[in-house]
Chain A
Amino acid sequence: MATAYVSKRFPVGFQPKTEDAIQNGSLALASTMSAIAENQHWLGMGDLDLVNFHQGLDIEGPVGALSNLWNGLTYPKTLTLNIPPFHQYAAFHFLVCRDYLLASPTLSGNGIKIECATSTSYINNITFGEDFASTAKPAFDISNFGWVHAATISETAVTGEQSALKLNSTASETWTTVDVTITLGTGVYCLAAAYHLLPNQAGYTVTV
């Protein structure tokens, strides 16, 4: 077995070769072949998704109501991630607000729960918020919303607070899909949400 490595060029990654470098009569350089192989490596393993998967409806509009936002009283959302070969981690980002009328978001003590078959991550540092019940100010103020993240990769802590979600315990040689379910705690309102796949970390190796 041999060990593949993750290019230190990540996330810049791709290093184009122009056709001028590959002309008749040119030398068959190992460096040219190496560059092509590395670029294939980036296209297969380093060209990672960034997807905004949720867009809340305007709650002030004609169809608007606070309940139109994804919140802790609605059902969990399950989305599908397409992950490339030998890939393992995804970071999640939420534009959220917390209702200050509640002492703390309640989801077993956590604000947002992100889970798949392999691991579970939590976000419980939602410090943004407003008093939705107050009549003294508008029911909806986007300035009170802020982004929270689950994006930290730890070699040891697969499950934990604010960790990127580990999607696979065993890296696949092909493109695969993983379903991820997200649950908001009571009092948490989500206006928008996104995920992006994280490049494998320096030192991360795969056996081929």
Chain B
Amino acid sequence: MANNQDAAGKFRPFIESDFKPHTYIRSGNDTVHYYKGVRDMAYNNNTLMARAKHPIINQVDSPQTATTIAGTTSPLAFAHYVVWTPSIPGRDTIDVTVTATCPGVRFQVRGVTPAGTGSYSAASSVGGSTVTCVVPVTTGTFQAMTLEFKLSAGGNFLPTKIYSVQTDISTTDIGTTANTRFVPQDSTQQYAIDQPFTVDMVRDLNKTNNNLFSRNIRCVHNWSFWGDWTSVISSNKGISRAYTADTANKVHVSQLYYLPRPGVTRLVVFMAGRTHNYGATAGESWITFDDETFGGGNFTTATTVTTSGSWAVWQSDIDVPTGVTGPLLLNLSMKTPGVGTTTCLQSLSIWEDPNTVKI
């Protein structure tokens, strides 16, 4: 049993009278005056391990711009994302919530990752609603996730929102496991009033802090074209760019908004899609990083589609400019120099790199 405040995972903020110099360090929590003691810090340690999270996917679309997907009672892949979660003990699943309409029928969704195939969600209401499935993930590693749906009978499926976060676990369960990065505070008497606290206890608190800071990074953008994925990857769908005679210049397609999180020095970009190439020259897609604050930096990463007609995932890194306090704009640009070529971007995931966060 962990030494928790409660199963709801309430967080105890810092109070200005906490741990002032030349004052005693309080061991237990003060339930009268609410001054923080080390026991409160143990509560918070476990609460952070059980509840702190950032969205993994948060994509919305509207019915008039999304693609209606014909479905049956068999599973059909309709979206592709890259996901990542910190390796907090016990938090090895993610919740994926899908909102969709499906006239006259019910739908269910599930997710497939290298860690396994998750169970189907409960069935939606007839006509569609919001459902949640639980998807297994391997923590501490970037991995692809494909979402599948099936219908209660033949019909159409129209997703409008996909939202995903790491699954919460009970703060009373977090104390049962540990790893090299996160150590729960797990003795009911460890921080009781008049009990000594040890260097190891303080060190464990610090370890959780440092690892949450470096590992609980944010997903800047997780976008997937929504459609019958078997068909998507063999057709020119998504963010597409046909051949342009001006082969020297990229075409600016879109832009993303970014505010650097403290400590983050690099972004990891995963792009998936295809090029449809009738000629001999491969298509290319580019993504560049412009620093609006300082009038335009030049942090460019190029990714090239090399195989005609194939679908692939490419990974690139982009360094985050240092000393930036304002917003950065991430320009998405494409270039398609091959005659008859079309380049299609069908999935785009941009993550802060957990392996280069400066502590």
Tell me the A residues contacting B by CB distance below 8 Å.
1-5, 7, 11-14, 16-19, 22-26, 28, 30-34, 36-41, 43-45, 47, 49-58, 60-64, 67-70, 73-80, 82, 84-86, 93, 95, 142-143, 145, 147, 173-175, 191-192, 194, 196, 206, 208
Contacts and interface: CB of A to CB of B under 8 A. Distances in A.
Interface string B190-219: 000000010100110111011011001011
A171 to B, nearest CB: 10
B255 A191 contact: yes
Nearest to B22: A30
Query: Interface extent on B, as a size class?
Result: 35 or more
Given A52-B221, A196-B259, 9 more contacts: A2-B15, A4-B14, A28-B197, A40-B205, A40-B209, A55-B59, A77-B161, A95-B257, A192-B256
A61 B241 contact: yes
Given A58-B239, A61-B242, A194-B257, A14 B263 contact: yes
Contacts of B168: 175
Interface in B13-50: 13-23, 25, 33-36, 38, 40-41, 44-45, 47-48
Contact of B236 (A53, A56, A61, A93): A61
A80 B223 contact: no
Contacts of B51: 174-175
A17 B320 CA distance: 24
B13 A208 contact: yes
Nearest to A194: B257
Most buried by B among A53, A54, A75, A174: A53
25 contacts: A3-B16, A22-B202, A22-B206, A23-B199, A26-B199, A30-B21, A36-B202, A36-B206, A43-B48, A44-B48, A50-B257, A53-B60, A56-B65, A57-B225, A61-B236, A67-B64, A70-B61, A77-B61, A79-B58, A82-B53, A82-B54, A145-B255, A147-B257, A175-B168, A196-B259
A54 B212 contact: no
Contacts of B103: none
A19 B262 CA distance: 20
B206 A17 contact: yes
Contacts of A73: 64
Interface string B223-240: 101000000000011111
B11 interface: yes
B255 A192 contact: yes
B263 to A, nearest CB: 7
A49 B12 contact: no
A52 B25 contact: no
A124 to B, nearest CB: 20
Contacts of B256: 52, 55, 192, 194
A13 B205 CA distance: 17
Nearest to A44: B11
B297 interface: no
Most buried by B among A3, A30, A75: A30
B124 interface: no
B55 interface: yes
A82 B53 CA distance: 8
A22 B165 CA distance: 33
A95 B65 contact: no
A-B pairs, top 6 by smallest CB distance, nearest first, are: A61-B240, A4-B13, A34-B19, A41-B14, A194-B257, A85-B11
A208 B60 contact: no
B220 A52 contact: yes
Contacts of A38: 14
Nearest to A34: B19
Interface in B313-351: 327, 329, 342, 344, 348, 350
A57 B239 contact: yes
B261 A63 contact: no
Contact of A33 (B19, B165, B207, B221): B19
A171 B52 CA distance: 17
